[in-house]
Amino acid sequence: MNEDRVFKRAIWIDIMRWLLMLCVVGLNIFLPISVLTRVLHHGTVNFGFEAVQGLFLLACDMYFLPVCLLEPKSITLQGDELVVNTLLWKARLCAADIVSFSVPRALTWGLLRTKRCFYLINRSDIKNFDELAVLIAQRLLPGAKPAGK
C-alpha cells in the first residue's frame, strides 16, 4: 500500500468539540472560584447546593472530557504507520504499538488501544468507518485482539 488513506470527520464537529472543551474547562475554573468568592465576601456557603454543583461538574467532566480528548479528528494510514490526530496531539503508531482494536455493538465508538493511550473512534463521525476498521485490523500484530463486531 503506497498511497496514504485519510479518514477524518467534518470540521464543524471539531469546532463543536473545541467549544465544548472550552465550556467544561471554564466550569472547572470558575465554579470553584465562585465558591471561594462567596466564602470570602459572605462568610456562609450552602453545602447542599455546593454538593449538587460539584456533582454536576464531575458529571460534565466524566461525560465530555474523554470525548473531547480521546476522539481522533483524523486517522491517516501511511504505509505501515497509523497517524492519529486528536484535538490536542498527534500520535504516530506502528503495528507494534497497537494493543487491540474492537468495535462493540453497544457503543458508538470503535476502541483503539495502544501501549500509551486509547482512542475512541466515533463510527458516526468518521466517514467510511467500516473500511477503516478493516484496515486497522489488518495492521494488528498476530498476538493482538482482532476487531469484534
Select from 70, 87, 117 the last residue of a domain: 70
Q: Are residues 63 and 91 in the same domain?
A: no
In this prediction, residue 146 carries a pLDDT of 53
Select from 49, 70, 91 the last residue of a domain: 70
89/116 Cα distance (integer angstroms): 13
Would 80 be classed as within a structural domain? yes
Would 145 be classed as within a structural domain? no
Q: Are residues 96 and 123 in the same domain?
A: yes
Q: What is the DSSP letter of 96?
A: G
Domains contained in the chain, number: 2
pLDDT digit string, tens, across residues 125-135: 888 888 888 88
Q: What is the DSSP letter of 41?
A: H
Chain centroid to Cα 135, Å, comes to 20
The four Cα atoms 126, 7, 20, 69 give a dihedral, to 10 degrees, of 110
Domain span including residue 133: 74-139
- Mean pLDDT of the residues in the chain: 85
Confirm if 86 and 73 have CB atoms less than 8 A apart: yes
Select from 70, 101, 117 the last residue of a domain: 70
Tell me the whole-structure pTM to 2 decimals: 0.75
In this prediction, residue 147 carries a pLDDT of 53
Q: Are residues 117 and 135 in the same domain?
A: yes
Q: Are residues 14 and 62 in the same domain?
A: yes
Q: What is the mean pLDDT of residues 59-79?
A: 89
Confirm if 76 and 85 have CB atoms less than 8 A apart: yes
Q: Are residues 54 and 95 in the same domain?
A: no
Would 146 be classed as within a structural domain? no
